[in-house]
Chain A
């Protein structure tokens, strides 16, 4: 059976970790190959001995890590390497990178070490192509997935929308500061803002929330079902978001979802999220106000239909493109026909 090693250097609880957990446990993926999650030291991915037919990097690219990627390539010159880009996006560059051409050079150089590059959203793929970071013929798009069964089974909220949830690391990336400021401008004593997560911005955010009793910091919640289940709507005012798994989860849970118009969040607009443009106080306030006017969450499309093939089908196509001469399994031909 085909052996795939997934290299990861970040095991913090977050989208990447949960995606890999799902990937390693999904029956369809297991049928496709044997998946091994390999935790490697940061910037030294070649240090760990790997026996595999395909290596998939879920690593964050950096100048410091580039020599490590090169030795990974050298050590495994005979087998295909695939990179999944979990970290970077147009919004990331806008908010964090001053020397943009230099940064683009880094990405181009790093991607050139791989047979294929996988974008985690269509918006991110557009950015990779538009900035000429990856050639079209080596780029694939596979949106991360996690197990949504329990979220789909959650009771749908009924009645007016009163409790807004924000889920994610308390980091400037997530834009929770403007969210709190916008929420505080809303009238309505029965409105609630529940913030799930922890991180470096916690103190700043608590200060912004001040003495508004409607805002609560719930801390990190290990079971996301609990968080989604306790809210009527979810808002994502992120400044950048290569994919934005929270939006997919919230839609699966039948919640109204509001997203800022950046990066991968735009992918979720096609499946029912509402976007409000740049996360200014005014835009956020209006989005919250309009949502709270609605008595029922709007209809959401979250079923995995023909437009969203299962994860295993997408990975099978990816592997088929990477290893055209290797017979993976009988279904390869079906999946790509």
Chain B
């Protein structure tokens, strides 16, 4: 039995999968299996995974269920005591798994261990942007407001912690769910927040930018509304589990989410959407302004500059924004 399983949800990723698998098989912690979940690909994804000829790679095939469903298929098949996730276009630094396992072994209360990420572009070049989240004393409120886990290729779970959030919907006959497959976006933050709200497992980070997280260019602005909608669905879904928590934090979390979307809109060059989002954020709650005044005001100024002055005027702001950008 391998000590650790890394789950790679893979849907039509023949182009990027090879590099991802190389980074996983190159981990300094070697007692692992890589569970590639082919989620109904129509390209050469499976052939790429099989071409390695490494017995540590297991390929699971299932009809398309989406990202959450692919991760769930992988968890159901995983045999490790520790379970990590790496999307099929992201990369792990060679010491990532070793560092998380050392962290989990030294801290038996921790159920989810994560680290920061370095953002890269389609050709693997660093974007000189990093996610450097808070690492210690992470509460459910931090998860809800700032999502320190960051992205779906950052966490390594203890199996027991994942099993504490498993359930089987009535219509599901094959296996349990850990991620909620009814979400097509934000399924990861929903999972982390549910772990924080319904179990006593701790969420904690370790230093270092151990994940290289790939950003696909463009096309985001159109998805802003959808992102906001799925965020609202998370709040609506989890509110009954801890009503008093949502009374205290929902407005601030919504404001942070709007600010995040403003920054994403800014990055994709949509000044109108960015300034709309940041104004909505300020109207929703003052907490981002009080808690992170620098970042909030920069976002406001940059969005306004882009909306009013166009790209030339915003370039100055953009360089400032990038250097501060987190998640």
Q: Closest residue of chain A to B169, judged by CB? A: A286
Question: Is A264 part of the contact surface with B, judged by Cβ < 8 Å?
Answer: no
B109 and A282 form a contact (CB under 8 A): no
Stretch of A24-32, A94-102, A147-155, A214-222 at the chain-chain interface: A94-102
Stretch of B122-130, B149-157, B196-204, B266-274 at the chain-chain interface: B196-204
With an 8 Å Cβ cutoff, the count of chain A residues facing the other chain is 34
Question: Is B220 part of the contact surface with A, judged by Cβ < 8 Å?
Answer: no
Q: Which residues of B contact A (CB under 8 A)?
A: 108-109, 139, 160, 164-170, 194, 197-200, 202, 237-238, 240-244
Question: Is A300 part of the contact surface with B, judged by Cβ < 8 Å?
Answer: no
A selection of 28 A-B contacts at a CB cut-off of 8 Å is A90-B164, A90-B199, A93-B200, A94-B198, A94-B199, A100-B109, A100-B200, A101-B109, A104-B109, A127-B200, A131-B108, A131-B109, A175-B240, A177-B240, A177-B243, A178-B240, A261-B167, A262-B198, A276-B167, A277-B166, A277-B167, A277-B168, A278-B198, A278-B241, A279-B240, A280-B237, A281-B237, A286-B169
A286: chain B residues within 8 A (beta carbon): 169-170
Knowing A98-B139, A100-B109, A132-B108 are in contact, say whether A239-B241 is a contact too (CB < 8 A).
yes
**Most chain B beta-carbon neighbours within 10 Å: one of A127, A131, A278, A281:** A278
Q: Closest residue of chain B to A98, judged by CB? A: B139
Interface members, chain A 248-285 (any B CB < 8 Å): 261-262, 275-283
Question: Is A187 part of the contact surface with B, judged by Cβ < 8 Å?
Answer: no
A278 and B200 form a contact (CB under 8 A): no
- Measured in the bound complex, the distance between the Cα atoms of B167 and A275 in whole Å is 9
Knowing A262-B198, A286-B169, A286-B170 are in contact, say whether A280-B244 is a contact too (CB < 8 A).
no
B200 and A90 form a contact (CB under 8 A): yes
How near does chain B come to A299, taking the closest CB pair, in angstroms? 19
How near does chain B come to A165, taking the closest CB pair, in angstroms? 20
Q: Which residues of A contact B (CB under 8 A)?
A: 90-91, 93-95, 97-98, 100-101, 104, 127, 130-132, 172, 175, 177-178, 181, 239, 261-262, 275-283, 286-287, 290
A127: chain B residues within 8 A (beta carbon): 200
A95 and B242 form a contact (CB under 8 A): yes
Secondary structure call for the A interface:
helix
- Measured in the bound complex, the distance between the Cα atoms of B164 and A101 in whole Å is 20
- Measured in the bound complex, the distance between the Cα atoms of B109 and A108 in whole Å is 15
B194 and A278 form a contact (CB under 8 A): yes
3 tightest A-B contacts by CB? A277-B167, A178-B240, A93-B200
B241: chain A residues within 8 A (beta carbon): 178, 239, 278-280
A95: chain B residues within 8 A (beta carbon): 242
Q: Closest residue of chain B to A261, judged by CB? A: B167
A181: chain B residues within 8 A (beta carbon): 240
B240 and A94 form a contact (CB under 8 A): no
A101: chain B residues within 8 A (beta carbon): 109
Q: Closest residue of chain B to A293, judged by CB? A: B170
How near does chain B come to A228, taking the closest CB pair, in angstroms? 25
A100 and B240 form a contact (CB under 8 A): no
Q: Closest residue of chain A to B176, judged by CB? A: A277
- Measured in the bound complex, the distance between the Cα atoms of B170 and A280 in whole Å is 14
A277: chain B residues within 8 A (beta carbon): 166-169
How near does chain A come to B201, taking the closest CB pair, in angstroms? 9
Q: Closest residue of chain B to A284, judged by CB? A: B240
Q: Closest residue of chain A to B195, judged by CB? A: A94
- Measured in the bound complex, the distance between the Cα atoms of B169 and A80 in whole Å is 47
How near does chain B come to A121, taking the closest CB pair, in angstroms? 15
- Measured in the bound complex, the distance between the Cα atoms of B140 and A98 in whole Å is 10
- Measured in the bound complex, the distance between the Cα atoms of B109 and A281 in whole Å is 29
A239: chain B residues within 8 A (beta carbon): 241-242
- Measured in the bound complex, the distance between the Cα atoms of B238 and A130 in whole Å is 26
B169: chain A residues within 8 A (beta carbon): 277, 283, 286
